[in-house]
Amino acid sequence: MIIICKKSAKEAEIQDLLEILSQKGVEPHPIYGETETIVGLVGDTSKILAEDIEAIDIVKNVKRVSEPFKLANIKFHPNQTVVDAGGVKIGGGNFAVMAGPCSVESEEQIVETAKKIKASGGNFLRGGAFKPRTSPYAFRGLKAEGLRLLELAKKETGLPIVTELMAIEHLQYFDNVDVIQIGARNMQNFELLTELGKCNKPILLKRGLANTIEEWLMSAEYIMASGNTDVILCERGIRTFETALRNTYDLSCIPLLRKMTHLPVIGDPSHATGKAAMVHSLSKATVAVGADGLMIEVHPNPQKALSDGAQSITPEAFDYVMKDVKKYCILEGKLL
Ligand code: PEP
Ligand code: MN
């Protein structure tokens, strides 16, 4: 349920309204806009009669929200959320590029890649230290040592770090991480999402391999409902009947999400296609459909990469992609 207050409503009157609503057993979330105040209600609103609320002097209008996601809903929060991660803004007209290898492999690999990403205009260094792999025999990351190497690269370049968390016990190693990535395979790990709601770092929530947009937003809602509203969504391709590429890049979800949520949305053409040759054109397309950022896998020697080599581009190719991404951002009126 959403309550739109009259423009004439005074602060003290809004406070009284919030008190009345709390007494009805729901959680009111006021959003103070430039012209009006909106109060979103979270909880069981089925017993609240819209007519009773509309009868309150300062209330202009009451609307029921039919969608199950509330805090992530654009109706609750008409202005786009801007997430500030390590001094870099994402959303609300700010475009961010997160780039780096699939896995952190060595000091030389991560530091050299980070320097080149920075020189080409990338905003974040990505790199997996705890890797979710389909095979238990595949390289599963350098773990805590990988995080140490990421921190080293951050010190050298000033680039904030994005890296994946798979288990809440590993959070102890994430003190210097700027954005915690929740991978596709953990999108519906509800206990993990609830715990992340209690931490004060932005969360990059990747879309599950076979999840609907509504399920994805409900996972964002889990994080937000336990207190952390800094959630960034990342479309990384979904499973369909098509097998020509690793996944099917659901670019249409980006303009659709714009109408559903205020959260920033980025696209990952690397995991979405599994092919390095697709990254350039789909990076441009990602900007063109209105995304707030990109995640791109970059490796100094993709043929020797310990994971996701086929979809990783070289730093030289990344530089070329960035030149076009910058032009597309100008067309879209985005700040990069
Ligand atoms: C990754 O970013 O390297 C990764 C494992 O991504 P996803 O969860 O989208 O497969
Ligand atoms: Mn990867």
Whether 108 and 210 map to the same domain: the answer is yes
Q: Is the pLDDT of residue 21 over 90?
A: yes
With residues binned 3-state (H G I as helix, E B as strand, rest as coil), the percentages for the chain, rounded to 5, are 35, 20, 40
Do 18 and 165 reside in the same domain of the chain?
A: no
- For residues 216 and 293, membership in a common domain is answered with yes
178 plus 212 within the same structural domain: yes
Distance in angstroms (rounded) separating the CA atoms of residues 17 and 305: 58
For residue 307, pLDDT beyond 90: yes
Q: Could you list the beta-strand ranges (E) of the chain.
A: 2-5, 27-32, 37-42, 59-63, 83-85, 88-90, 96-100, 124-126, 161-164, 179-182, 203-206, 231-235, 265-267, 293-297
The finding on whether 246 has its CB within 6 A of some atom of ligand 1 is no
CATH number at residue 54: 3.30.70.1140
* Mean pLDDT in residue range 295-317: 98
Query: What residues does the ion ligand 2 have nearby, CB within 5 Å?
Result: 102, 308
Ligand 1 atom with the smallest distance to the CA of 206 is 9
Q: Are residues 308 and 238 in the same domain?
A: yes
> Is the minimum distance from the CB of 132 to ligand 1 under 6 angstroms?
yes
Pocket flag, ligand 1, residue 158 (CB < 6 Å): no
299 lines ligand 1 (CB under 6 A): no
CA of 183, closest atom in ligand 1: 8
The residue-averaged pLDDT of 201-226 equals 97
Query: Does the beta carbon of 184 sit less than 6 angstroms from any atom of ligand 1?
Result: yes
206 lines ligand 1 (CB under 6 A): yes
Within a domain: residue 76?
no
- Domain match, 28 and 169 both: no
Does the beta carbon of 236 sit less than 6 angstroms from any atom of ligand 1? yes
For the chain, percent of residues with pLDDT exceeding 90? 97
- Nearest residue (CA) to ligand 1, atom 8: 183
Predicted confidence (pLDDT) per residue in 41-79, tens digit = 998 898 899 999 999 999 999 999 989 999 999 999 989
CATH number at residue 298: 3.20.20.70
Domain C-terminal end among 63, 93, 111: 63
| Residue 46 domain-assigned (yes or no) | yes
User: For residue 73, is it within any domain?
Assistant: no
Say whether pLDDT at 278 is over 90: yes
Torsion on CA atoms 267, 271, 277, 280, rounded to nearest 10: 10
Total structural domains within the chain: 2
Q: What is the pLDDT averaged over residues 207-214?
A: 98
Could you give the angle at which helices 279-288 and 315-332 cross, rounded to 10 degrees?
20
User: In this predicted structure, what is the pLDDT of residue 329?
Assistant: 98
- Cβ–ligand 1 distance for 128 under 6 Å, the answer yes
Query: Which residue has its alpha carbon closest to ligand 1 atom 3?
Result: 102
Residue 219 has pLDDT above 90, yes or no: yes
User: 297: CA distance to ligand 1 center in Å?
Assistant: 10
Q: Please give the residue range of the domain that contains residue 125.
A: 83-332
36 and 133 share one domain: no
Q: Is residue 314 part of a domain?
A: yes
- Residue ending a domain, among 34, 63, 92, is 63
Please give the distance of CA 57 from its chain centroid, rounded to a whole number.
39
Check whether 100 has a pLDDT greater than 90: yes
Would 70 be classed as within a structural domain? no
Q: What's the 322 CA to ligand 1 centre distance in angstroms?
A: 21
Residues 42 and 170 in one domain: no
Q: Say yes or no: 95 and 20 in one domain.
A: no
Q: Is the pLDDT of residue 33 over 90?
A: no
267 plus 136 within the same structural domain: yes
Same domain, 94 and 44: no
My answer on whether 27 and 171 are in the same domain is no
